[in-house]
Structure 1
Amino acid sequence: MFSSTTIARTDTRLAKLKARRKLWLDVHLYIGLIAGAVLAVVGLTGSFAVFFVELQEVLNPELAIVSTPVEDRKKLHSLNEIVAAAESVKPQGSRFFKVYYPRKPDIAYKLLYFVRDDKQAKNGDGYYIFVDPYTAKVNGVQLYYLKDSYWGRPIVGFIMQLHWCLLQGRTGADINGILAAISVVSVLTGLILWWPLTGKFKQALTFKRNASAVRFNFDLHKTLGFYSAIVLLPVLFSGIYFNLPEQVNVLVNLFSPVSRPTAFNSIPMEIRSKPPQAGQQALSLSTVEAIVQQHYPAGRLWMLLGPKNPTDVYKVMKRDVTELSRFIGYRDIAVDQYSGEIGKVYDKNIGSSGDRFLDWQWPLHSGYAFGWTGRMLVFFSGLVCPILYVTGVIRWLQKRRAKRAKVGL
C-alpha cells in the first residue's frame, strides 16, 4: 500500500508532466500546421526520388535500355567511341559535362551535355544522350534540364526539383532546408508526446482493437510517427545538409574539423590542372579512365566529369569500393587533364570524424548505405509524411470540434 503522501507526490509530478506535455503539444501542433504540408510534399517526392534512376529506365526504356540481343553483347566499345557517338548528335552549341556509366549490362551510357552559347536561346539547357555500350549507337536524346523553367522537364527531373527546392530555385532550397530543421523539432516533440506517462508502452506501440474512427486516427498518427522517427530523423538532417551545407559545416566544425569542400563536391577548387606545354591537348576520356583503373582498380566506375575550363581537372567517381566501407564505399579522383597526374583522391569514411559524419549523409538520405533494405525504409518513411500530416490535421479538427461542443453545453 502507498501512503497518502506518496500518492500526492505522484499526482503532483503527473500534473507537472501533463502541463509540460501541453506545451509540447502546442509546439508540435503549430509546427505541423506550418511545415506539415510542405513536409508531406517533400516526403512523397522523396519516396519517388529513392528510385529516380530506376524510374528513368522504366519511363524511358527506348532510351535507357539496351536493345542489343544478349548473344551479341560480346564486346564493349571504348569510352572514346561512346563519346564520339554522342558528339555526332549533340545539340548545337552544347558541350560535354559528364557521363554516367551503365549500372547493369542491359543499361546504356548516359551522357550529359549543356548548351554553352550565349547567342542561343537554349543557352544553359541540359540534354541526356543515351548510347548503347555494345554498338556505340545513339538510342536517343532527351531534354532533361530547362534553365528557365521547371515545366516541360521529364517527370523524374521535375520530381527531383520539387523535392529539393519546391520549384523555387535557390530560395526554395533554403526554405526547404529551414523547414526540414523545423520538422526535426516536430518529430522530436512527437516522440515526447508519444512517451506514455503511465508506463503503458504496449498500448503506445500498438493499435487498439475494434477502435472507433477517432481512436484509429489517433493510433495511426502516434504509431506511424514513432516507428518512422528512426528513419525520418537522419533523413531530415541530411536534407538540411544538402540544402544548407555551409550552416551545417559550421555546426559540425564545432566538434570536428571538416575538409570536404561542399555537400556535392569532395574535390577542392584549388586542385587544378597544370598549364599545358606548347601544343599539348587534353587527354581523352578513355585515357583518363585507364589511368584511374590502373591506380585504383577497386570498385565500380560511376561517373566521369569533364573539365569545365582549361585549368579544371577530370573528376572520376567510383562506388562499391568495399576496401573503404561496405556501406559508403565511394572514391573520388581528380586527374590533371593534360599530364594525367592524379591531383587528389577523396576516400569517403576515411578522414576526420566531421568528414566521415558528412560522408554518411548522402548514403543515409538515399538509403543506399543499407542496400535495398535501406532504400525501402527511406521510401516508406517518405510515404508516412503525408499520412502523418493528414492524420494530424484530422486529430486537430476532432479536438477543436469537441472543445466547441463542450463550450456550447
Structure 2
Amino acid sequence: MTAAARRTVSPRRLLRLWHRWFGLFAALWLLALSLTGSAIVFYDELDRWLNADWHSVPVVAAGTESAADDALAAAHAALPGFSPRYIDLPDRPGDTIMLIGADGNGAPVQMFAHPDSGRLLGWRVGGSPAFDRRHVMDSLYALHMDLMLGPAMAWFLGLVSLLWAIDHIPAALLAVPRLAALRSAFLVKGRRLRRLFDLHRAPGMWLYPATLVLAVTGVCLTWQEESRDAVRLFSPVSDRLHYAFDDTVEAGTAPAIGIAHAVAIARRYGAGPADSVAPIAGKGVYGVRSFDPRDLDGMGRLWTYIRMSDGQVVGQRHDNGESAGDLFFAWQYPLHSGKAFGMAGRIAIFVAGLATAALCMTGILLWWRRRRPT
C-alpha cells in the first residue's frame, strides 16, 4: 500500500472528515440554537425587565391562590376559546398570576392577572416571530424549540443534537492527538492560521463538559419518546400519572371545584406551597404542582392529582420518580437550563452557548482558509 493510500484511510483522516462535514452541515442550526439558548437562560429576568407591568404589582395582602379562579374566568371572558394548560401561581408577594394555554385557533397564549383580584393585566399570542418588548423573549424561546417551524423541525433539531453529541468524540481526539498535547489544547497562541485554529479548539476544550451536556440533554428533551425507549433497555421509566388516567370526561363539563379548592386539598394531603396548577380537563383532574425538597431546579415537581368532580385525591408523584431511568429524565431540563446548579450553572450554560456559536463561526473560517480538493 502506498503512503498516499495509507493516508487516505488513516483513522485520524476519517475523524477529520467527519468533524469537518458535520460542522459544515450543522453550523447554521447550532448557531441558531446556541444564540437563542444563551438568551433564554435568563428568560424570566429579561422578560420581567421588559414587561414589569405584567409580572409584578405593588405588594398586596395574602390570599393570591383564591384569585386564580377569578383570573381563569377573566381569561375565558376576554379570549373566547382559551384553553388553559398551566396556571402559574405567585412565588412571592407582588408576583402576578400567569395563565399558559392556547386560543381557539391553537396558538400559544400567555395571560397575566393581578394576584389579588384576578383582573387581567395583559396577554400575548405566540406562533409567529415578533421582537417588540412584549414578544421578544417568547419568540426567542419558541425559536430555540423548533425555529417556529413545527414538529418536523423539532425532530430535525433533535437529530442535529444527536450528531453533535457524537461529534464530541472525534473533536476531542483531534484536539488532543496525544496526551503530551493536552495542555496546549487549552491555550491560544501562534499567528494567523494557527491562532484561528487555537481559537476554535481552546473554547471547545474549556467548555467540553457543558457543551456535551447540552447536546445529550437536547436529544432527550427533543426526542422524548425515542430517548425513553432507549433508556428502558437499562432501567424502567415511568410517566406522569395522569397519562394513564381514562379520558372519561365529556367536553364542556364544568368542574365542581375550583383551583383554590384544589390547592387547599393538596396542602391538606401533605404537599408544600403550590407552584402551579394544570387543569387536565380531558382526564377530569387538576394537577397541583408543589415545591418539594426533592426538586432539582427550583420549580415545583411534586404532582398531586385531584378529581374535579368531587375533590378526591387520586394520586401523587414527584417527577424524580422511583427508578434510575426516572431520575435520569428528571435531570434533563435542570441540566439543559443550568438551573440544577443555581446561578453558577446558568452562567455556565450561557457561556457554553456563546462558545458554541464561536465554534461554529471559527470552524467555517478554518474550512474557508484551508479549503483544498480532497
- Please report the TM-score for the alignment, with normalisation by the length of structure 2: 0.87
User: Of 207, 211, 222, which aligns to 1:228?
Assistant: 207
Give 1:204's aligned residue. Answer: 185
8 Å contact kept, 2:275–2:300: no
Q: 1:307 to 1:268 in 2, by over 3 A?
A: closer
8 Å contact kept, 2:235–2:324: yes
CA distance in 1, matches of 2:53, 2:338: 28
CA distance in 1, matches of 2:208, 2:140: 24
User: Of 38, 52, 60, which aligns to 1:47?
Assistant: 38
Matched, 1:99 2:78: no
Give 2:225's aligned residue. Answer: 246
Q: 1:138 to 1:192 in 2, by over 3 A?
A: same
8 Å contact kept, 1:301–1:317: yes
Give 2:338's aligned residue. Answer: 367
Structure 2 stretches of 5 or more lacking a match? none
User: Of 89, 93, 110, which aligns to 1:128?
Assistant: 110
* 1:167-224 CA distance string (max 9 Å, x none): 210001000001111111222211111114261322122222xx31322221121111
Give 2:287's aligned residue. Answer: 315
Matched, 1:287 2:261: yes
8 Å contact kept, 2:69–2:260: no
CA distance in 2, matches of 1:306, 1:328: 18
Q: 1:200 to 1:327 in 2, by over 3 A?
A: farther
8 Å contact kept, 1:129–1:138: no
8 Å contact kept, 2:68–2:260: no
Deviation at 1:127, TM superposition (A): 3.3
Secondary structure (helix, strand or coil) at the match of 1:269 reads helix
8 Å contact kept, 1:127–1:143: yes
Paired residues for 1:270-349 under 5 Å: 270-272=244-246, 281-298=255-272, 300-309=273-282, 311-319=283-291, 321-323=292-294, 330-349=301-320
Paired residues for 1:33-112 under 5 Å: 33-66=24-57, 68=58, 70=59, 73=60, 75-88=61-74, 90-112=78-100
Secondary structure (helix, strand or coil) at the match of 2:358 reads helix
Aligned identity (percent) is: 25
Q: Greater Rg, structure 1 or structure 2?
A: 1
Secondary structure (helix, strand or coil) at the match of 2:314 reads strand
Deviation at 1:38, TM superposition (A): 0.4
Q: Counterpart of 1:376 in structure 2: which amino acid? A: I
8 Å contact kept, 1:97–1:308: no
Q: 1:327 to 1:79 in 2, by over 3 A?
A: closer
CA distance in 2, matches of 1:90, 1:113: 14
Secondary structure (helix, strand or coil) at the match of 1:47 reads helix
* 1:248-299 CA distance string (max 9 Å, x none): 1111011111112xxxxx23422259879xx99521111100111122343x
8 Å contact kept, 1:127–1:141: no
8 Å contact kept, 2:185–2:205: no
Q: 1:58 to 1:272 in 2, by over 3 A?
A: farther
Deviation at 1:63, TM superposition (A): 1.1
Give 2:139's aligned residue. Answer: 158
Secondary structure (helix, strand or coil) at the match of 2:263 reads helix
Deviation at 1:50, TM superposition (A): 1.5
Q: Counterpart of 2:98 in structure 1: which amino acid? A: K
Secondary structure (helix, strand or coil) at the match of 1:306 reads strand
CA distance in 2, matches of 1:251, 1:170: 20
Q: Counterpart of 2:181 in structure 1: which amino acid? A: K
Secondary structure (helix, strand or coil) at the match of 2:95 reads coil
Structure 1 stretches of 5 or more lacking a match? 1-11, 117-122, 261-265
Q: Counterpart of 1:32 in structure 2: which amino acid? A: G
Q: 1:357 to 1:96 in 2, by over 3 A?
A: closer
Secondary structure (helix, strand or coil) at the match of 2:78 reads coil
User: Of 342, 349, 353, which aligns to 1:378?
Assistant: 349
Give 1:184's aligned residue. Answer: 165
Deviation at 1:246, TM superposition (A): 1.4
- Please report the TM-score for the alignment, with normalisation by the length of structure 1: 0.80
Deviation at 1:90, TM superposition (A): 2.5
Give 2:148's aligned residue. Answer: 167
* 1:123-165 CA distance string (max 9 Å, x none): 32343332232x425352212334xx45588112211121111
8 Å contact kept, 2:296–2:331: no
Secondary structure (helix, strand or coil) at the match of 2:341 reads helix
CA distance in 2, matches of 1:366, 1:181: 18
Deviation at 1:393, TM superposition (A): 1.0
Secondary structure (helix, strand or coil) at the match of 2:287 reads strand
Deviation at 1:305, TM superposition (A): 1.0
